[in-house]
Amino acid sequence: MARLSAALLCVLLAAARATALEVHIKDVRTGSSTLHASFELRDIVPDRFTRVLDENGALHLRLQAELWESRPVWDRLVYPAIIRVIRMTRDTPPSNPMPVTLDLGKTDRITASGRYYLHVIATLGTLAERDVDEVGDAVFGRPSETNSLGSLGRAIFRTALQISDYLQSVSAEARTKKIAGSELLKP
């Protein structure tokens, strides 16, 4: 019985990983005088978030790309982190896989003798604003019906629920192997 339970647990964990958000870095290259990162996102909307889209809610996909120089003591961030947020609704479903290209910055910060790597983080979350409003109305009354103390309670309650709901997100990250600066500078 214990072996069967362990095998079932392994199958469930593997299935959960198979349907999770994934980041696959395709290329880091120079175009004219700018460094570009190309990657794709797979399985962007896991099953637990499809309900939000089905109910006309919005999902927020946060993409963060960082180019780091690999150094002996500590690594150095070459450019400030590039962050893009994409709002997705039922009317704007993402393709699967979803190709993404981000401009990282000018190539003048890259040295031919340096070694670099790209780190990409993708986070999908929701704020479920409509649900927060409905629960807040039930607990504190409608905004037109409440006094100033009720309004304060609504604001605190709304903020707490939004933060809690956003923390229910899914993230994925990827990192390239070390790339020679001379390779990055090739056109």
**The model's pTM:** 0.69
Three-state DSSP state, 2: helix
Asked if residue 5 belongs to a domain, the reply is: no
Model confidence at 152, pLDDT cuts 50, 70, 90, reads low
* Segments forming the whole domain that contains residue 55: 20-126+169-185
- Evaluate if residue 67 carries a pLDDT over 70: yes
Model confidence at 162, pLDDT cuts 50, 70, 90, reads low
Asked if residue 49 belongs to a domain, the reply is: yes
pLDDT at 90: 86
DSSP H helices, the chain, are 2-18, 47-54, 129-140, 148-166, 181-185
- Evaluate if residue 151 carries a pLDDT over 50: yes
- Give whichever of 12-26, 51-65, 138-152, 157-171 has the largest mean pLDDT: 51-65
- Evaluate if residue 139 carries a pLDDT over 50: no
CATH of residue 113: 2.60.40.10
Model confidence at 116, pLDDT cuts 50, 70, 90, reads very high
Three-state DSSP state, 130: helix
| Tally of domains in the chain | 1
User: Considering only CA atoms, which of 80, 85, 122, 86 is closest in space to residue 105?
Assistant: 80
Asked if residue 77 belongs to a domain, the reply is: yes
